[in-house]
Amino acid sequence: MNGIIFGVGESFSCLTSGLLVRFIKDSTAVIICCFVGVVTASTFYFTGGMETGLLGAILLFTEVFAIGAICSLTYVLAELRVPPESFGSTTVLCVTLALIFSGLSQFFAYADGIIPTATVVLVFCLIAFMTIILPPGGQFLQNVNKINASCSQLLQDPNQMTINDSAYMVTLGAY
């Protein structure tokens, strides 16, 4: 049963995170998902979530949703807010930290008392804080006017077009 909950929660998080980014800022979507994760983890702890059947399944689904949405939104944040020359190293760093935390999570999950919940809340708060201090989005994206000019040139003369960019040059000829 838990495998089905994990799969459906992860799939739902991918779809919902895309929908969230369409209507609100990416950093706001991450903070909302962190808030949902903190509330779910706290509810899970204070109600004894694993022993309550349907409530435990709903809380597990919601927690997987929050974590999955944050993972999906991490790539959007990196693309919009990290300079292109640092994108690869930033992505590798994010994946490496995610693997380290997932490896350590088994030790925190079986700890006594409030340690598991406190750890989850601390990680979500750290993610929300790091999202807030990121630079504004979109400043490293390509110039839209340059792309529009290239498209206009292609529409006027589709047989002979040259796209000059700082990284490469592509020449399109007649087929």
Domain CATH for 83: 1.20.1250.20
pLDDT for 167 equals 40
**What digits encode the pLDDT tens for the residues 90-140?**
888 888 888 888 888 778 777 787 888 788 888 888 888 888 888 877 777
Q: Specify whether 69 is located in the same domain as 120.
A: yes
Q: Which structural domain range is residue 15 located in? A: 2-132
Instruction: Output the pTM of the full model.
Output: 0.68
Candidates 134, 116, 9, 120; CA nearest to 74 is 134
Q: Specify whether 43 is located in the same domain as 115.
A: yes
State which amino acid sits at residue 137. Answer: G
Q: Specify whether 117 is located in the same domain as 45.
A: yes
**What digits encode the pLDDT tens for the residues 48-106?**
656 667 888 888 888 888 888 888 888 888 888 888 888 888 888 888 888 888 888 77
Q: Specify whether 35 is located in the same domain as 119.
A: yes
Q: Specify whether 121 is located in the same domain as 173.
A: no
Quick check: is 137 in a domain? no
What are the φ/ψ torsions at residue 14 (nearest 5 degrees)? -65, -45
pLDDT for 4 equals 82
Q: Specify whether 128 is located in the same domain as 146.
A: no
Q: Specify whether 77 is located in the same domain as 155.
A: no
pLDDT for 171 equals 43
Find the length of the chain.
Answer: 175
What are the φ/ψ torsions at residue 140 (nearest 5 degrees)? -110, 10
Contacts of 21-26 with C-beta under 8 Å, sequence gap 24+, read 21/73, 21/76, 25/137, 26/73, 26/76, 26/77, 26/80, 26/137
Q: Specify whether 56 is located in the same domain as 113.
A: yes
Quick check: is 86 in a domain? yes
The whole-chain average pLDDT of the chain stands at: 77
Alpha helices in 24-114, H assignment, sequence order: 26-47, 54-81, 87-109
Looking at the 3D structure of the chain, how many domains does it have?
2
Q: Specify whether 90 is located in the same domain as 24.
A: yes
DSSP 8-state assignment for residue 140: T
- Determine the distance from the C-alpha atom of residue 78 to the mean position of all C-alpha atoms in its chain, rounded to a whole number: 9
Decide which of 153 and 124 is more confident: 124
Q: Specify whether 99 is located in the same domain as 149.
A: no
> For residue 158, what pLDDT band results from cuts at 50, 70 and 90?
low
* Other beta carbons within 10 Å of 148: 10
Q: Specify whether 86 is located in the same domain as 68.
A: yes
pLDDT for 170 equals 44
Q: Specify whether 67 is located in the same domain as 116.
A: yes
